[in-house]
């Protein structure tokens, strides 16, 4: 299987030596594509001087996670790649991982993509497949747990089933699937763009699984930056408003409002109330609703599955987060779980 490895760099000079070395050492002779998202450090010069075999594209503006990866994906597909391996700049491949992913994908033609075990440098799990909450929150499955504990707790290992969606930190995507469903939604820029592509893959009938025997190390550190919160919250609503029928959204309206009131209170005490207001203010613009109506129209054309099926992968609680706040564990999760227990059987379409 001919593979293209795509790495998007944004001021990632401190990470590039490790990820590029691992791609050369363990990439199974794959073509390497580096897309620089208008970095202000010396990333571009470093790649030019030290990794001349890598195909480097320098963007004039920051295209975000979604746009940057789309540039690399188009190049890899144009060069005849049969699958594209996306790697965050702060990851590193391990020996044999790419071969195991490629072999699994080749043996399972109904899978659109496969995700490796994404591990933290300390050996604990960062993601063994990602989860989505029925209110649109996306999060990494098993984050912070030991590998064995994550295997015991994650439902898709118990059921031997598909993962809800994949981690954008490391994933091998079949070229045929990308050509059919398209790349990332560039309007989302960053955060939940992997969730949106996962939902789109599911709507087109492609499966998604994790190959835990293939490991990628992720030097993950969540930075509580204002822009991060803005895109996480804005995009959560954009994805949910785009993919689900109006009766489904109506049933979810009360828990969505209650969760939003809780988030507003949390933002006041946490010092990011201004970001909260900005993310909600976005929905009072004409461009927001133009996007939502256009996206809903697009989704209706390819969505051949029911809301009930799509939400069968949803969780009623949030686990494995970087910040395991007491109010999430003891207030939000019990109430949200009760709400999902009541609402889930009502969604029959």
Q: Domain containing 21 — which CATH number? A: 3.90.550.10
| Residue at a domain's end among 218, 248, 266 | 218
Going by C-alpha positions, the residue among 48, 58, 54 that lies closest to residue 21 is 54
- Give percent above pLDDT 90 in the chain: 90
pLDDT in tens, the chain (349 residues): 999 999 999 999 999 999 999 999 999 999 999 999 999 999 999 999 999 999 999 999 999 999 999 999 999 999 999 999 999 999 999 999 999 999 999 999 999 999 999 999 999 999 999 999 999 999 999 999 999 999 999 999 988 899 999 999 999 999 999 999 999 999 999 999 999 999 999 999 999 999 999 999 999 876 667 678 899 999 999 999 999 999 999 999 999 999 999 999 988 988 899 999 999 999 999 999 999 999 999 999 999 999 999 999 999 998 866 656 677 877 888 999 999 999 999 999 9
| Residue at a domain's end among 200, 218, 236 | 218
What token pair was written down for 151?
Answer: 């295997």
Give residues with Cβ within 8 angstroms of 168, minimum separation 6: 65, 69, 86, 88, 193, 194
Longest dimension (CA), the chain: 60
Do 140 and 188 fall into the same domain? yes
What token pair was written down for 16?
Answer: 């590039």
pLDDT, position 12: 94
pLDDT, position 328: 81
pLDDT in tens, 308-345: 999 999 999 988 666 566 778 778 889 999 999 999 99
| Residue at a domain's end among 194, 218, 242 | 218
Question: Which residue segment(s) compose the domain that 295 sits in?
Answer: 226-346
User: What is the C-alpha separation between 130 and 165, in angstroms, rounded?
Assistant: 5
Do 191 and 268 fall into the same domain? no
Do 198 and 250 fall into the same domain? no
User: Is the whole-model pTM more than 0.85?
Assistant: yes
What residue spans of 28-63 are helical by DSSP H?
43-50
User: What is the C-alpha separation between 235 and 35, in angstroms, rounded?
Assistant: 23
User: What is the C-alpha separation between 193 and 184, in angstroms, rounded?
Assistant: 6
What token pair was written down for 26?
Answer: 């363990």
* Residue where the block lists tokens 């790697």: 87
Give me the number of domains the chain comprises. Answer: 2
With beta carbons less than 8 A apart as the criterion, state whether 200 and 142 touch: no
Pairing of strands 138-140, 130-132: antiparallel
Q: Provide the sign of the torsion angle of the four alpha carbons 91, 141, 222, 199, taken in this order.
A: positive
Do 127 and 204 fall into the same domain? yes
């Amino acid at each position: 299987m001919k593979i293209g490895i795509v790495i998007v760099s944004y001021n990632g000079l401190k990470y590039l030596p490790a990820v590029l070395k691992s791609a050369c050492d363990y990439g199974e002779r794959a073509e390497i594509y580096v897309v620089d998202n208008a970095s202000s450090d010396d990333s571009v010069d470093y790649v030019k001087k030290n990794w001349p075999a890598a195909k480097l594209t320098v963007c004039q503006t920051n295209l975000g996670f979604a746009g940057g990866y789309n540039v690399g994906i188009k190049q890899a597909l144009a060069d005849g790649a049969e699958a594209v391996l996306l790697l965050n700049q702060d990851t590193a491949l391990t020996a044999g991982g790419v071969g195991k992913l490629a072999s699994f994908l080749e043996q399972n033609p109904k899978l659109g993509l496969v995700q490796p075990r994404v591990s933290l440098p300390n050996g604990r799990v960062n993601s063994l497949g990602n989860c989505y909450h029925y209110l649109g929150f996306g999060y990494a499955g098993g984050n912070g747990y030991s590998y064995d504990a994550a295997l015991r707790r994650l439902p898709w290992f118990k059921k031997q089933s598909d993962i809800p969606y994949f981690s954008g930190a490391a994933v091998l995507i079949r070229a045929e699937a990308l050509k059919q469903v398209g790349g990332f939604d560039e309007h989302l820029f960053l955060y939940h763009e992997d969730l949106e592509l996962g939902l789109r893959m599911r709507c087109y009938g492609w499966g998604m699984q994790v190959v835990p025997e293939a490991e990628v190390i992720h030097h993950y550190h969540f930075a509580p930056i204002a822009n991060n919160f803005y895109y996480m919250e804005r995009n959560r609503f954009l994805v949910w408003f785009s993919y689900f029928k109006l009766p489904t959204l109506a049933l979810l309206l009360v828990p969505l409002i209650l969760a939003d009131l809780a988030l507003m209170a949390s933002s006041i005490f946490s010092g990011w109330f201004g970001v909260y207001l900005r993310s909600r203010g976005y929905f009072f613009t004409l461009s927001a609703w133009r996007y939502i109506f256009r996206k809903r129209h697009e989704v209706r054309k390819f969505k051949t599955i029911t809301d009930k099926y799509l939400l069968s992968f949803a969780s009623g609680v949030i686990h494995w987060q970087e910040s395991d706040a007491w109010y999430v564990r003891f207030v939000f999760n019990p109430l949200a779980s009760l709400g999902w227990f009541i609402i889930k059987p009502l969604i029959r379409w």
